[in-house]
Amino acid sequence: MSKTAWIAVALVVLVALVLALPALSQPGGNDGPGGPGMGGPMGMPMAPIMVVNDKGVYVMMGPNVLRLDPETLKVLAKAELPRPEPPTRGGAPNQ
């Protein structure tokens, strides 16, 4: 990977950390199915996740997934993941 791509990756990580700090610094109540600090589907914020490969930089923030150009960091694609359905008991939705 070129030096420019590594700089782009470092910038994305830095931005993701800056965006995640307010959510991670809140005391308590941020425990999700993955353990402390992981957040979850109950409306709690989750830390951004980033994956880098030859085709781009992928950033997942909550239900949004962004594909960025590794050289320019321009957004190439954006998608929103569907929200999970709440579990049911006895065939009726929980209330």
Contacts of 72 (CB under 8 A, 6+ apart): 8
Helix (H) or strand (E) holding 64: strand 64-68
Its pTM surpasses 0.75: no
- Name residue 79's beta-bridge partners: 65
Kindly state the tokens that stand for 92. 């009726």
Highest mean pLDDT among 1-5, 37-41, 42-46: 1-5
**Regarding beta strands 75-80 and 64-68, do their DSSP bridges make them parallel or antiparallel, or are they unpaired?**
antiparallel
Identify the band that residue 4 occupies on the pLDDT scale cut at 50, 70 and 90.
confident
pLDDT in tens, 12-43: 777 776 676 666 555 554 444 444 444 555 55
